[in-house]
Chain A
């Protein structure tokens, strides 16, 4: 941050900006994803990528099935010990700058596969930028995670972040309804 560049504008003036801000802004809306999809979270990833939730709204829809062309690694699902060298290698093949997103509880921590088979979180293998909890996470949570990652890219922040749980507005409204129903006379004698 802090270096100034000058772009030639019109004859009347010029535009100044900080080059890292400009790069961050450009990068955050053109993420090329490498989906490393291993398990059931992949279904949610498909929902996310298809028109209903539509990650192309955030400029992150283009998958690249070569890690050399990708800058965002989506780790979607459980990583077994046997897959660990593959994941490490895929990560190493990606070009800088690169980001890693742990999709779901298994990728983040190993989840309930707490035994000899499974890596307890991909951060044991590769630096991870954003963790999205959920089994699987709802597409909205993943979009939260993507936006969090975009904020981090824009500000150059490489500390790991976790998507915070959100209250579901539907179930929040349902609770008073249910209470009302329980309190209301049913017309039955019991």
Chain B
């Protein structure tokens, strides 16, 4: 269906379309992050594309790749009933310096999606009107959906009670056993979030 869209993109932007992929009606283009907004504006405004609806914008972390992060955008045309997935790869091998243009000017709905992607992955959206954390609290350090964020690391806002203060054990009481929680969790794993655990 929208393979025609991919052809159109390749024709219009040439080498800035780094890869394309089509599988069972699912069409993806990986594009140059430097031309992200230009490509989005084209997809929205070109009468043959007419992608008026921003379905989703999110991030993804591939720790083995450089650039490490992906910004993934899903678009849909209500009038023409075709959809497209657009990706851009940003950030170095430590997920630092990930920057891309904001598309809030094109689709208002991108506002909170971009804040979420910033919060979870640390991607900075240039030109976003209000780029703050949206899910985590301002005191939170780091970006929790990065694969390098320790799986069991918490950042409490209030100091936890100590066992001396409480006078009772604060570790899990029966019948809440060691098997509660995730295999890499606070009981079985270490603070680095290493994959080794009691069950392995």
Q: Is A105 an interface residue (CB 8 A)?
A: yes
CB-CB under 8 A from A125, the residues of chain B are 158, 160-161
Cβ contact of A81, chosen from B137, B151, B176, B186, cutoff 8 A:
B137
Contact present for A110 and B137 (CB under 8 Å) = no
Contact present for B175 and A116 (CB under 8 Å) = no
Q: Is A157 an interface residue (CB 8 A)?
A: no
CB-CB under 8 A from A105, the residues of chain B are 176, 180
Q: Is B166 an interface residue (CB 8 A)?
A: yes
The smallest C-beta distance from B139 to any residue of chain A, in angstroms, reads 10
A94 to B196, CA, bound (A): 44
Q: Is A160 an interface residue (CB 8 A)?
A: yes
Contact present for A162 and B136 (CB under 8 Å) = no
Contact present for A116 and B154 (CB under 8 Å) = yes
CB-CB under 8 A from A82, the residues of chain B are 136-137, 157
A142 to B48, CA, bound (A): 60
A82, A118, A164: residue with the most chain B Cβ atoms closer than 10 Å: A82
Q: Is A131 an interface residue (CB 8 A)?
A: yes
Contact present for A88 and B158 (CB under 8 Å) = yes
Cβ contact of A120, chosen from B158, B175, B186, cutoff 8 A:
B186
Q: Is A171 an interface residue (CB 8 A)?
A: no
Q: Is B129 an interface residue (CB 8 A)?
A: no
Cβ contact of B173, chosen from A81, A120, A160, cutoff 8 A:
A160
Interface residues on chain B, size class: 20 to 34
The smallest C-beta distance from B171 to any residue of chain A, in angstroms, reads 9
The smallest C-beta distance from B42 to any residue of chain A, in angstroms, reads 38
CB-CB under 8 A from B81, the residues of chain A are none
Contact present for A119 and B156 (CB under 8 Å) = yes
The smallest C-beta distance from B187 to any residue of chain A, in angstroms, reads 9
The smallest C-beta distance from B190 to any residue of chain A, in angstroms, reads 14
CB-CB under 8 A from B136, the residues of chain A are 82, 116
B interface, over-half SS: loop
Contact present for B181 and A159 (CB under 8 Å) = no
Closest to B182 in A: A114
CB-CB under 8 A from B108, the residues of chain A are none
A126 to B136, CA, bound (A): 22
CB-CB under 8 A from B172, the residues of chain A are 109, 121
Contact with A along B127-171 (1 / 0, CB 8 A): 000000000110000001000010111111110110000101010
A49 to B84, CA, bound (A): 49
A126 to B159, CA, bound (A): 11
Q: Is B79 an interface residue (CB 8 A)?
A: no
Q: Is A115 an interface residue (CB 8 A)?
A: yes
Contact present for B156 and A123 (CB under 8 Å) = no
Q: Is A133 an interface residue (CB 8 A)?
A: yes
Contact present for A160 and B168 (CB under 8 Å) = yes
A108 to B166, CA, bound (A): 15
Contact present for B168 and A114 (CB under 8 Å) = no
Q: Is A139 an interface residue (CB 8 A)?
A: no
Given known contacts A84-B157, A88-B158, A123-B166, is B180 in contact with A112 (CB within 8 Å)? yes
Given known contacts A81-B156, A114-B185, is B170 in contact with A133 (CB within 8 Å)? no
A-B contact pairs, 13 of them (CB 8 A): A84-B156, A105-B180, A111-B181, A112-B180, A114-B152, A115-B144, A121-B170, A121-B172, A124-B156, A124-B160, A124-B161, A125-B161, A160-B173
Binding site for B on A (CB under 8 A): 81-82, 84-85, 88, 105, 108-112, 114-121, 123-127, 131, 133, 159-160, 162, 164-165
Binding site for A on B (CB under 8 A): 136-137, 144, 149, 151-158, 160-161, 166, 168, 170, 172-176, 180-182, 185-186
Q: Shortest 4 CB-CB distances between A and B: which pairs?
A: A114-B181, A114-B185, A124-B160, A114-B182
